[in-house]
Amino acid sequence: MTTFTVNGRTHQPEGPSEMPLLWYLRDLAGLTGTKYGCGLGICGSCTVLVDGQAARACLLHVGELEGRAITTIEGLSADGMHPVQLAWRALNVAQCGYCQTGQIMQAAALLAATPKPTDAEIDAAMSGNLCRCGTYPRIRAAIKLAAEGGEA
Ligand code: FES
Ligand code: FES
């Protein structure tokens, strides 16, 4: 049986090893903050961190995650005070909100690897996260704000 952690807690999924991580998180682990958009790896709404790297939960099978550390939006911070979350709130980034957990996880991974990203680095990192509401300008501004360590 595959063993991995989600937000610091050990999980041993039952069922088929080819079950997408996204299914496991939402339907079996009750972590519904990670959203199902396309199921094909092209929208980014299901983005989580795997060993600190942004990854699409719809493309990962639970059976290939032995020993990995997964972080979902529920585990990004204990109190919703991650710098990215603070910046998102300060700039009211979300519109409908559906894509935003994926956006936040992708942004958190970017800033962990590149604390002061350029516009080009932001665009490159975020290009696979789609937003039907067109919140892209606020997303970019919030990433810059988070990089500066400010709230507004
Ligand atoms: S649901 Fe995974 S990338 Fe769209
Ligand atoms: S805020 Fe609605 S899809 Fe992004």
Question: Are the CB atoms for 62 and 26 separated by under 8 Å?
Answer: no
Ligand 1 centroid – CA 90 distance (Å): 27
Q: For residue 47, what are the domain limits? A: 4-75
Alpha-carbon separation of residue 38 from 6, 46, 56 (angstroms): 22, 9, 11
Cβ(48) – ligand 1 distance below 6 Å: no
Using the mean position of ligand 1's atoms as its centre, give its distance from the Cα of residue 112 in Å: 22
Cα Rg, the chain, nearest whole Å: 15
Q: Which of 46, 75, 104 is the last residue of a domain?
A: 75
Model confidence at 31, pLDDT cuts 50, 70, 90, reads: very high
Report CA(110)–ligand 2 centroid distance (Å): 20
Q: What is the pLDDT of residue 151?
A: 53
Q: What is the mean pLDDT of residues 28-49?
A: 98
- Structure confidence by residue, pLDDT tens digits, 102-134: 999 999 999 999 999 999 999 999 999 999 999
**Element of type H or E holding 22:** helix 21-23
Please identify, among 51, 75, 99, the residue that sits at the C-terminal boundary of a domain. 75
Look up residue 140 and give its DSSP letter: H
* pLDDT bucket at 43, cuts 50 / 70 / 90: very high
What one-character DSSP code corresponds to residue 96?
A: S
CB 108 within 8 A of CB 44: no
Q: Given 75, 97, 129, which residue is the final one in a domain?
A: 75
We report the CATH number of the domain holding residue 13 as 3.10.20.30
Question: Which ligand is located closest to the Cα atom of residue 23?
Answer: 1
Residues 6 or more apart whose CB falls under 8 angstroms from that of 125 comprise 54, 106, 107, 109, 110, 114, 117
> Do 93 and 130 belong together in one domain?
yes
